[in-house]
Amino acid sequence: MRVWSALGFRAAVVSLLLLVLLVFSWFAATLPEAGVPVPAAAASQTPEQIEYLKMMGKDPGALTAGTGKQGGFPTPMQTAQTAWKQLSDPFYDNGPNDKGIAIQLAHSLGRVALGFGLACLVAIPLGFVIGMSPLLRRAFDPFIQVLKPISPLAWMPLALYTIKDSSVSGIFVIFICSLWPMLINTAFGVASVKREWLNVAATLEVSPLRKAFLVILPAAAPTIVTGMRISMSIAWLVIVAAEMLVGGTGIGYFVWNEWNNLSLTNVIFAIVVIGVVGMLLDLLFGLLQKAVTYVE
């Protein structure tokens, strides 16, 4: 236990040092060039002219301090200020295109939870049946291998045409991308249960239902949860891209909308939020996987 604690502490220190190095590199890359005066373009413009330039994608306030060119990359301090502004009031709602980051995350997580839940209801029972039957395993394998590599976003046009609802189409995309890892891992886990355990269950004349829940499920649970963990990672990855396409609400739409508003600080903030939420979801399934894993 002490060895793991020491190792965890050293890993945390190394991670912190890497973070400091990353922020310092970012800070150094956005420093103004030495000896070049900062242009005072914004100060010489009227509010109407500044607004027009913003609409044309030439915000004078975004002039890089070193070059006088538009489009300077945000500094760490600017991004931190934007993050503080967003997190200080995450639940505001000023209309369809102006909602707080918490509201956007809630929409995205709701779609992911619904699509992922539906995939669990289909993939786990079907994976059980396929894993327990070599005949079905061979029969289903060609269909799984053909459908598995298809990009989830390739289903979006078909979903929009048939469902005719952008939000439900996003849920369908999450469902279809979450299905295959769970299905494959469940079937593999069930098929890999030790024959000795099944033979003991047969010797004791255990009913098929009790054998499924008391023998097969505990043995295959780590593999099943691994499939769920992979599916959740893919689902969170896909929902961002799906929401960019369908629009409306969600963290993906937030990124796209802020890009259209030429707000790179908000885009960077949203990218960090997406990464942190994805990490937390992965940690949650990691804890679940640890809980169902039998250690001798």
Residue 23 within a domain: no
- 151 lies in which domain range? 110-248
Contact predicate 113/198, CB 8 Å: no
pLDDT band at 45 (very low <50, low <70, confident <90, very high): low
When pLDDT is averaged across residues 6-26 and rounded to a whole number, the result is 85
pLDDT at 194: 80
When pLDDT is averaged across residues 96-113 and rounded to a whole number, the result is 88
3-state SS class at 151: coil
Residue 86 within a domain: no
Contact predicate 137/131, CB 8 Å: yes
pLDDT at 51: 61
* Residue 61 burial (CB count, 10 A): 12
Would you say residue 270 has pLDDT above 60? yes
Q: What is the mean pLDDT of the chain?
A: 81
Report percent pLDDT > 90 for the chain. 28
For residue range 184-224, list pLDDT tens digits in order: 999 999 888 888 877 787 777 777 788 878 888 888 899 99
Residue 33 within a domain: no
Contact predicate 215/198, CB 8 Å: yes
Tokens of 175: 């469902």
Domain count, the chain: 1
Residue 19 within a domain: no
For residue range 52-66, list pLDDT tens digits in order: 555 554 555 554 443
Would you say residue 70 has pLDDT above 50? no
For residue range 226-252, list pLDDT tens digits in order: 999 999 999 998 888 888 877 778 888
When pLDDT is averaged across residues 93-120 and rounded to a whole number, the result is 89
Residue 161 within a domain: yes
pLDDT at 126: 93
Residue 11 within a domain: no
CATH of the domain at 137: 1.10.3720.10
Residue 131 within a domain: yes
Residue 93 within a domain: no
